[in-house]
Amino acid sequence: MSRLPDRTLLTRCEIFVYFGVYIAYIVVGLYKIYGLRDHIANEAKFQFPDGWRFYPLSQRRRDDSNDELENFGDFIASFWPFYLLHACVQGFIRWKCPRLQCLGFIGVCALALSVNLDWSSMVLLVTLIASYYLVSLLSLKYLVWLLSAGWILCINVMQKNAWWTDRVGYTEYVLVIVTMSWSVLRGCSYSLSKMGAKQEDLRRYSLIQYLGYAMYFPCLTYGPIISYQRFAARREDEVQNWLGFFGGVLRSAIWWLVMQCALHYFYIHYMSRDVRMVEMMDSVFWQHSAGYLMGQFFFLYYVVTYGLGIAFALQDGIPAPNRPRCIGRIHFYSDMWKYFDEGLYEFLFHHIYAELCGKRSSAAAKFSATALTFAFVFVWHGCYTYVLIWSILNFLCLAAEKVFKTFTSMPEYQRWTQRHLGAVGAQRLYAMLGTQLFIPAAFSNVYFIGGQEIGDFLMRGAYLSGVGNYLALCFCSYCFFQSSELLLTKSVGRSKTKTY
């Protein structure tokens, strides 16, 4: 195995500089966005609602421009009794009769949906769930993908159907679209896993098991996606850890509270929708910080939503994926795919990428498999221009990262760096080259978070604002890269994805 540069040989002073620049840039950028709060409130295209009633939040208006966050709040306001019911029902079943666990999953979910959804929404969800069980009986993988393509097309058509949207209302429209999108992945995971299962394991793929998986309420709408292999590996007889469960739910609640309080002072969500607000920052150099903080608030949203689903899954004995890793600790964007949403990564890797190529496949086969994987990511997220740009940029950045890692692992390169630069110099060169991949990969995600206009604006600011600006951006990004590399040495081996 090739040896990568040893990042532990950096001096303490150098490490202090890296972390100092990293922290200072974030703090100053956050302060500059805080300073724009009144300007943004006055210049916004719509008026923000009044802040929370207790002081000092009552003196501020709250940024409510993030539709996903607002929809999640509405969902919890309507469905929180069913989270409580799920916990109580599972607590009793796990205590008295663990074999009925899936029936408990089905009952709570059916009750929650029937009480809150229009009959047309119920028909759509029931039809989708049933269709994957029926196609799994045929044991033909191409039929699973044809069915998935049909449902993804259906979801895209429904998003443009004004009649149905007006009938059920915007809140239910969002709930059903999101739930159907996740259900497509769950249906694929069950069907494809069943087709690859051994004969003696087929008892784990019964109708009741499938319905319990497809109708697992805590992850039904807001994720994360849990593979069927993980669900089937749940430990029904394991003693429930109520302290850990309450801790997980409390963690999500605290981060939600922190984010809501922050939105009274940092209108970062609105900035991601209106490029004029980013232009108000006093230099291009500090506009980059707005892109970084958009990513951090995006991360916090998934800490809350995924964290809640993961807490319930672990309590129910399901070996759920890990919580999203902070984007401040990610400098290679292959790690963003692996550790930000481990469940989605597992699905894409096992059911698409690994089906198309193997470890010994040619570079062309791997390249094509990666391209087809990102094509699925594009159509599943919605066939929008900004999603296409994000998918293409991520694909290109991952391909370039593969070339970079292959090049830096070559014995000739390592011998040259050791001879002319030494161990510390080799690490610095490694970080300098890696930074050139980190910058476009980081900005590419702004397209997904904020859309094409803000993505184009920040990308132009990075590459078309002069040599001085780019050098300053490279220096800060280099410090970010080195800091993340150093943090990686302390956490390596503790966050690897398990497979089931």
Residue with tokens 């051994």: 198
Could you tell me which of 179, 196, 175 has the C-alpha nearest to residue 128? 179
Q: Which two tokens stand for residue 105?
A: 């999953």
Query: How many of the other CB atoms lie within 10 Å of CB of 482?
Result: 27
Could you tell me which of 8, 498, 491, 45 has the C-alpha nearest to residue 267? 45
Task: Reduce the DSSP state of residue 291 to 3 states and report it.
Answer: helix
Q: Which two tokens stand for residue 337?
A: 């795919």
Distance CA 389, CA 44 (A): 27
Active-site residue, from 86, 288, 381, 420 = 381
In the annotation, is 39 catalytic?
no
- Which neighbouring-strand residues pair with 61? 50
The angle subtended at Cα 105 by Cα 102 and Cα 109, nearest 5°, is: 145
Q: Which two tokens stand for residue 304?
A: 């809350």
Query: How many of the other CB atoms lie within 10 Å of CB of 211?
Result: 19
Could you tell me which of 130, 131, 113 has the C-alpha nearest to residue 122? 113
Distance CA 440, CA 375 (A): 20
Q: What is the largest CA-CA distance in the chain?
A: 72
Could you tell me which of 384, 347, 371, 375 has the C-alpha nearest to residue 183? 347
Distance CA 229, CA 5 (A): 37
DSSP state of 353: I
DSSP state of 11: -
Q: Which two tokens stand for residue 158?
A: 């429904």
Distance CA 292, CA 328 (A): 9
Looking at residue 223, its amino acid is G
Distance CA 138, CA 205 (A): 14
Looking at residue 275, its amino acid is V
Cα-based distances in Å from 252 to 294, 342, 393, 456: 19, 18, 31, 33
Q: Which residues are catalytic?
A: 381
